[in-house]
Amino acid sequence: MQLLLIPILLILGIIIYQDFTSRSIHWFTLPPLFIGLTIYTFDKLSFQDIIFNFLFIIVILGSLVVYLRFREGKWVNPTKSFFGWGDILFLFAITPSESTRDFMFLFIIGTTFSLLLTLTLRLMSTKFDVIPYAGMFSIFIISHLIYSYMNPNFSFVKLLN
């Protein structure tokens, strides 16, 4: 299983490169990422965890649609101006990375990390018309996977106790 971590990190590195250079990611990087994470976490996760993580992402995206409906005063397609399809598919691809409770923390902390990194880069005069969310989240996932590999008992939920 440890050897599988290297291809996963390489795929995430490709996503970072693609998102930062072209502001999009290619769909063909996402199935190998999903399959690699599924195999890598096979002994730690259940199929139920992956389904609940999918549902969590669907609830988040549904909440985004409802929020945009009230903010804009009409139904708005969030993939037109606010959130790209690559970002959405990326979130679904990383669902096998953690158990449901840890995945919720991973999503929240990873999204916060992405926003803070964007603000930091904007202060350093790097201009972003759109946030390369999948690329920035990939940076966070890489650091998380490496840290979790070095500390196998790590859990976001344990941080609260």
pLDDT digit string (tens) for 132-157? Answer: 889 999 999 999 999 989 888 877 76
In terms of phi and psi (left: phi > 0; alpha: psi -120 to 50; beta: otherwise), the region of 63 is alpha
Ranking 86-90, 101-105, 114-118, 150-154 by mean pLDDT, the lowest is: 150-154
Residue 151 CB: number of other CB atoms within 10 A?
Answer: 9
Q: Are 157 and 102 in contact (CB under 8 A)?
A: yes
Tell me, what's the pLDDT at 161? 62
Give the per-residue pLDDT at 143: 94
Per-residue burial over 24-42, b = 16 or more CB atoms within 10 Å of its CB, e = otherwise: bbeeebbeebbebbbebbe
Query: 19 pLDDT exceeds 80?
Result: yes
Total structural domains within the chain: 1
Average pLDDT (53-82) is 87
Buried b or exposed e, range 73-102, using 16+ CB within 10 angstroms: eeebebeeeebbebbbbbbbbbbbbbbbeb
Residue 158: what pLDDT?
72
pTM listed for this prediction: 0.88
Q: Which of 1-10, 22-31, 50-59, 142-151 has the highest mean pLDDT?
A: 50-59
The residue segments making up the domain with residue 64 are 2-160
